Structure formats: structure tokens, C-alpha cells
Amino acid sequence: MSDTDAQSVFFMRDTMLPQVPPPAGQSGPVRWLRENLFSGWFNTILTICGLIALYFLLRGLLPWFAHSVWTADTLSECRQIIAAKWGPDATGACFAVVRERWTQWLFGFYPRHLYWRPVLTLVLMFVAMAPVLFPGVPRKLMIFSAIYPFLGFWLLWGGSAWVPLGGMAGFVLGYIAWRVLRENRPLVGILVAVVIALLWWLLLAGPVIDLFRSIAPLAIESVRSDRFGGFVLSLTIGVAAIAISLPLGIALALGRQSDMFLIKTLSVGFIEFIRGVPLITLLFTASLLLNYFLPPGTNFDIILRVIIMVSLFAAAYIAEVIRGGLAALPRGQYEAADSLGLDYFQAQRLIVLPQALKISIPGIVSVFIGLFKDTTLVIFVGLLDPLKGITDAVRASIDWKGIYWEPYIFVGSIFFLFCFGMSRYSMYLERRLKRDHR
């Protein structure tokens, strides 16, 4: 056989090679450390500097947390316990203040015998949110989701049951008018629904509520708004503002892209004005100036005024986030809607908005998280938020005068849990709606 013939003969293995473990540096923790912490000289220096900083940080924090005291009646008793256990120079956290005053951080000055009402409202809130947030929940629960805002208002503030029922009646009348006119004149149907609801609330709701109240006085003990505080106040303002600002932001985003000059001008003016004014200014407006624009003798609850202003503030930012999602859609999507013969509202509901909202999910959730944290600014209008208002009230007590870090750690941890939960749900929603798998 010649050399040429020998080279033309190919060898094919008829057995598999036995598996061998990967090299030590190519698997497990060693590979992760090399790729993430020591991938180069600069990354190595940063890792070493970070470890040094972490060492000095933990050297001070770990003993402070390890020497924590959870059972004491006063700050001085806490310090005595720490000195007796770990020496006179030892330092430690006095989380006994959290154990003693946690109800105040959660409920503010809400009557103690009525704590069941905000707790029940919170539980029902998760029930009402379930069909909106998770696809596996029966759609029939959406009826309860629509009723919940009025039920939650009644449970928190109390008073006559006919007040929230009268408010709900305005939405029902507007919805009926919209259903009648939506097929032939959708825009006219929306305008008529808004006008009917406003006429009901401004002219008819008061006398009708008084009539039913005189016939059947269904009521529970009322609670004034100045008794609200802590996380009951933050959740009330935050959840209500989130629920109101999202549809309002969608309407503003669509209005800003409208071809009608008046609607576009009003939407742009509103968005730019709200975004150019600090939230604190709007809160002062809600607290001091809004009553000047209301009829004499009108007593508009301060918490409801704050909810309105916070909702308008968040709606302006959500509108810009959604406008970015609308701008990201290819022009072909709009042309596809036109080719199918869909009108404006059908195209927005079935094709445009679902895709734009999916694109805008991270930005929308970021606005929601910032909105929930901004509820602490209500301290500037005299409401007792958990971070400043309730904490200062606790620290003003003789028993806990001088305590500092522990209340802020407790309040910050609860805020973190809520905000982290919103961010995790955002990521879950993005994964569920993702269609372009590769």
C-alpha cells in the first residue's frame, strides 16, 4: 500500500471514551470565583478592596447585632442588660423598642380594638389583586376586585355603608352608559359616562345617600384620618395611588400621541407641569390650597386629597414610560391593525397597548416602587408616616428617648420586603409574557 492510499484510510472509533471529571479550575466554586471575582488584575484589586471594606463593616455590625436585646421596657434597661452580659464597654442593638411598639409602626394611632379592620382590608386586598396579577385565578373574582376599593374604604374609615355604595353607583351608571354607546360611538360613550358619573356624585349622590341613611342606618364605628399612621397609612396611599395612576397614565400617554390638537395639548401640558413640580409642592397644594377651590363648607378628607395628588404625580411619569413603550413598537403593528379594519379603540386594546405595556413593565414597576417609598413624604402635611412620623413619636417617649438606628432598621426592612416583592413580581411577569424565546 502506497503512502497516498494509507492517508486515504480514515479511522472511526467504535467505543465511547469513559467520562472524566473536568479540571479543577473549570468547574464548581473555583470556576465561579475566577470568572466573577478574579478574572483580571483590575477585577482582582476591586475584589480585595471590597473584601477589606466588608471586613471592617462586619467587624462593627456583627457584635452590635449579636448583642441585641429583645426584651426590655426602656432604653436604659436595654443598656444595663448589655453591660451585664457583655461588659461595660459593649454595644448592642435594643430591638426591644420594636417588640414594644410594633403595633404603633403598623397601625399608627388607629383604635386598638379596631385593628381587625385594617388587617381584614389587607387580606381582602390580596384576594382582590389575585385575579388581576395571576392568570390561574378564576376570572369571576374580578367582580370582587371591582367592589374592593369601596369595601376597603368603608372598612378603614367606617361610618355609613351608604357612602361607598353611593360612590360605587356613579361608576355603575357611567359603565352602563358606556356599554350602551361603545359599539357605535366609543369616544362619545366615554364622555357621556364621565358626565353621568360626575352629575351623580355632584348633584344626586348626597340626597340619595341621606335618604337611604335615614331609612336603614347601616354603619360601623368611624375613624378620623388623623388616627391613621404607620404602614396602614403608607399602604392606603400607595395602593390607591398605584391603582388610580396606571389607567390615568395610559390615557395620558395615548392623549399625548393623539392627532387631536386639544387633547394632545392638554396631555402634554399636564405631564410637563406635573413632572416639573416637586411632589412636596403638590402635597402642600393638597393640604392647603385645594379647599379654596371647593364649595364652602366642604370637608374633603386630607388622606383622599393626598391620594389624588400622589396619583396625578405618578400618572405623569407612567405616561412617559408608556409613551416609550408605544414609540418602541414597529410601525408595522399599527399598519397591521389598519389592515384588519380595526378602529382606534380596538387597535389600542387588542394590538398596540398589550405590546407597549409589556415593553414598559420595568419602568412602570420602578415608578410604583418609587411611589410607595414617596408615601413617607406625607409627614410634611401632618400625616404620621412610619419612617419619620411614628418613629419620632416613639423616640419622644421618655422610655425610648435616645434610641436611633433600631427603628429605622425595622421600618426600612418592611419597606424592602414590599419593594422587593414588587420587583420579583415584575420579573415573573416579564418571563410569563416573553414570547421571543431563543
Tell me: the pLDDT tens digits for 211-228? Answer: 888 888 888 999 998 899
**What gap in Å lies between CA 377 and CA 304, rounded to an integer?**
15
Question: What are the backbone dihedrals phi and psi of residue 69, each rounded to the nearest 5 degrees, phi first?
Answer: -120, 125
**What gap in Å lies between CA 357 and CA 325, rounded to an integer?**
7
Instruction: Give 157's contacts (C-beta < 8 A, 6+ positions apart).
Output: 222, 223, 225, 301
Q: Where are the alpha helices (DSSP H) in 200-301?
A: 205-215, 230-256, 261-275, 279-284
Please give the pLDDT value at position 311. Answer: 93
Compute the mean pLDDT over every residue in the chain, rounded to the nearest whole number. 86
Name the one residue in this structure whose C-alpha cell is 413593565: 361
Strands 219-220 and 159-160: antiparallel
Q: Lowest-pLDDT range, 44-48, 112-116, 246-250, 341-345?
A: 341-345
What is the CA angle 55-60-66, rounded to 5? 110
The three three-digit cell numbers of residue 65, written as one number: 447585632
**What gap in Å lies between CA 121 and CA 149, rounded to an integer?**
10
Dump the DSSP string for 345-383: HHHIIIIIHHHHHHHHHHHHHHHHHHHHHHGGGGGGGT-
Using the predicted structure, report yes or no on whether residue 9 has a pLDDT greater than 60.
no
Question: What are the backbone dihedrals phi and psi of residue 399, each rounded to the nearest 5 degrees, phi first?
Answer: -65, -30
Name the residue with higher pLDDT: 285 or 52: 52
* Cα distances (Å, whole numbers) of residue 134 to 141, 346, 432: 12, 24, 10
Using the predicted structure, report yes or no on whether residue 287 has a pLDDT greater than 80.
no
Using the predicted structure, report yes or no on whether residue 101 has a pLDDT greater than 80.
yes
Please give the pLDDT value at position 302. Answer: 86
Using one digit for the tens of pLDDT, what is the confidence trace for 337-393? Answer: 888 888 777 888 888 888 888 989 999 999 999 999 999 999 888 888 998 889 988
pLDDT bin (cut points 50, 70, 90) of residue 437 is: very low
pTM, rounded to two decimals: 0.86
Which of 107, 154, 145 minimizes the C-alpha distance to 124?
A: 145
Please give the pLDDT value at position 438. Answer: 43
Question: Residue range 2-21: average pLDDT?
Answer: 66
Q: Lowest-pLDDT range, 8-22, 156-170, 270-284, 324-338?
A: 8-22
Instruction: Give 72's contacts (C-beta < 8 A, 6+ positions apart).
Output: 78, 81, 94, 96
Please give the pLDDT value at position 408. Answer: 92
The residues spanned by each domain of the chain are 31-62, 226-438
Using one digit for the tens of pLDDT, what is the confidence trace for 309-343? Answer: 999 999 999 999 999 988 888 888 888 888 888 87
Using one digit for the tens of pLDDT, what is the confidence trace for 388-407? Answer: 889 988 888 888 888 888 99
Using the predicted structure, report yes or no on whether residue 410 has a pLDDT greater than 80.
yes
Please give the pLDDT value at position 295. Answer: 62
Fold of 226-438: MetI-like fold (1.10.3720)
Which of 109, 103, 98, 101 minimizes the C-alpha distance to 383?
A: 109
